[in-house]
Amino acid sequence: MSWKQIYDPIGDSIGLSALVALIPILYLLWALAIKRMKGYIAGLTTLIVALLVAVLVYGMPAGMAAMSILQGAVYGLLPIGWIIVASVFLYKLSVKTGQFDIIRDSIVSITEDRRLQALLIAFSFGAFLEGAAGFGAPVAISAALLVGLGFNPLYAAGLCLLANTAPVAFGAIGSPVIAIEGPTGMSAIEVSKVVGRQLPFLSLFVPFYLIVMMAGFKKAFEVIPAILVSGISFAVTQFLVSNYLGPELPDIISALVSIIALTLFLKVWQPKTSFRFKSEMGQAEMAAGNAESIHVIKSDGKKTYTFPQILKAWSPFIVLTIIISVWGIPTIKKALIGQYEGTNTLLQGLNSLGHYLSFHPAVPGLNNLIIDGNGQPITAMFKLELLAAAGTAILISAIISKFILKIDWKSWFSTFIETLNELKFALVTIASVVGFAYVANASGMSITLGMTLAATGSLFPFVSPILGWLGVFLTGSDTSANLLFSSLQKITANQVGMDPILAIAANSSGGVTGKMISPQSIAVACAAVGLGGKESDLLRFTIKHSIILLFIICCITYLQSTVFSWMLP
């Protein structure tokens, strides 16, 4: 028996319906930011609240609501949870074998300054991982690296979430922008050009904002040359690639250019003093009574290693980079899910394996039984692509690293079990918050909120990015937010006289600022740095920065729609 979505369940009052649709979101924010519940408790109780709203207010059959939660929970575990497990496992192998000490010292050999380390790892290396894999891998891996260097876990997670804003729209080989073509009929290349004329402003600003958040304005200006090198090299490359090559490679190429440019620059320039956190102060400094939150010390001597030693230490992450990059190549990606149709013998063999390891069963009691506002049935499938999952690519990196690092199988497996045990509550959190996103979408709550924002008329160019921000908060994915709201953006833009490509691009650009407060992202970041149960602290840390960056995107979009329309292609 089918059920049709109702977007105004209160009746003739989309505003009141939106307030009701906000109840699960407001509850989740209250549970995490005010009540400070553990993440998995907040996630599970939010599921109950969302279920009640879906069934009692929106009239969704209870069985369908339960199955949509199950569909979301499964997606939360694969691919998202699988990425986290594999990422943390790879990092722990590096620590267990003592190789991370060499990684830490090799980074220190470039710079001992925590500000510059944050630029290299959180901003540039994180952007590379976002472009190659996405889905939580950038924050998980880069945050773990920062913690290993000596960063406070909460700070490391917060910095990586903030740094991860600029590359999100072109993450996972351009998936968010490419996904727009389906529901809107708009060319991905044309949307890429407009996104590439919005996000570079954010890419210029984020490195400076990141260091100000870490150390304050005065300490940020001490390293302004490095900030400019990092931000300008990334932003200019992001603009050029997105406008002249398309949406697939802006993150990967921009990140590589930024890493190389900053590393070479630091060979000829270093700040006069090296920034460290107060927790790293020596006993002499502590005895002197320095009570500031940070401390500046002179650079010390650096440990030196041979090139083969450094190469071996970095090998897990070099292998990871290569394999994830290969996993992201469109032709190989098709083979990994059993959809390759070419004649290459190697890819045909991979295609056969991918076919047997990819499952797309219909969600029972849900598939094609929900009818949307246009009278079209909504497909509901489990997406179990075991070989194509980014987590599998990371696990293969861990297997290869086992032989390079020369760790025995017993220690390898015990480390994996240890990782699973540490992440068990984080996985429950991830499954529950993604389950909430799915029931919000299936019941129509998300569309209610989107329609309310779309009713702002002439203010819509300013409000348009908020739709993307809301979509990413709900789903944890810029790709999903674009699939959810891009058609609504196009229709509303045409009604109010706004360029529809600008509105669609704003959905993606605004969405990147919602990534750092998405419950899914919060859970991933906490899991990566061993802060399971501390999700409320991280949300309180990031929410104000999310709103500030969203306001910047809103202003850019409004100006491009009115005063600076010449900026658009």
The two three-digit tokens of residue 561, written as one number: 């729609």
Residue 70: band (very low, low, confident or very high) from pLDDT cuts 50, 70, 90: very high
Residue 231: band (very low, low, confident or very high) from pLDDT cuts 50, 70, 90: very high
In 382-519, at which residue ranges do the beta strands (DSSP E only) sit?
A: 384-385
Q: What is the pLDDT of residues 505-522, one digit of tens each?
A: 999 999 899 888 888 788
pLDDT score of 173: 67
Which of 65, 63, 71, 76 lies closest to 381 in space, CA to CA?
71
Which of 39, 5, 79, 17 lies closest to 393 in space, CA to CA?
79
pLDDT score of 244: 87
- CA–CA–CA angle 437, 441, 442 (5° rounding): 115
> pLDDT at residue 524 above 50?
yes
> pLDDT at residue 239 above 50?
yes
pLDDT score of 411: 93
CB neighbour list of residue 37: distance below 8 Å, 6 or more residues apart: 31, 45, 536
Residue 190, domain extent: 3-567
Strands 3-4 and 370-371: parallel
Percent residues over pLDDT 70 in the chain: 93
Mean of the pLDDT values across residues 268-288?
65
Half-sphere exposure of 185 (CA within 13 A, CB side): 4
- The helix, strand and coil proportions of the chain, stated in percent and rounded to the nearest 5, come to 75, 5, 25
Mean pLDDT of the chain: 84
pLDDT score of 560: 92
Mean of the pLDDT values across residues 47-75?
92
Which of 473, 467, 461, 450 lies closest to 521 in space, CA to CA?
473
Q: What total of structural domains would you count in the chain?
A: 1
**pTM: predicted TM-score of the whole model, two decimal places:** 0.72
Which of 548, 499, 477 lies closest to 208 in space, CA to CA?
548
> pLDDT at residue 293 above 60?
no
| Partner residues linked to 294 by β-bridges | 277
Residue type, 542: T
Q: What is the pLDDT of residues 150-202, one digit of tens each?
A: 888 888 889 999 998 888 888 776 778 877 776 666 788 888 899 999 999 99
CA distance 120 to 411: 31
Percent residues over pLDDT 90 in the chain: 28
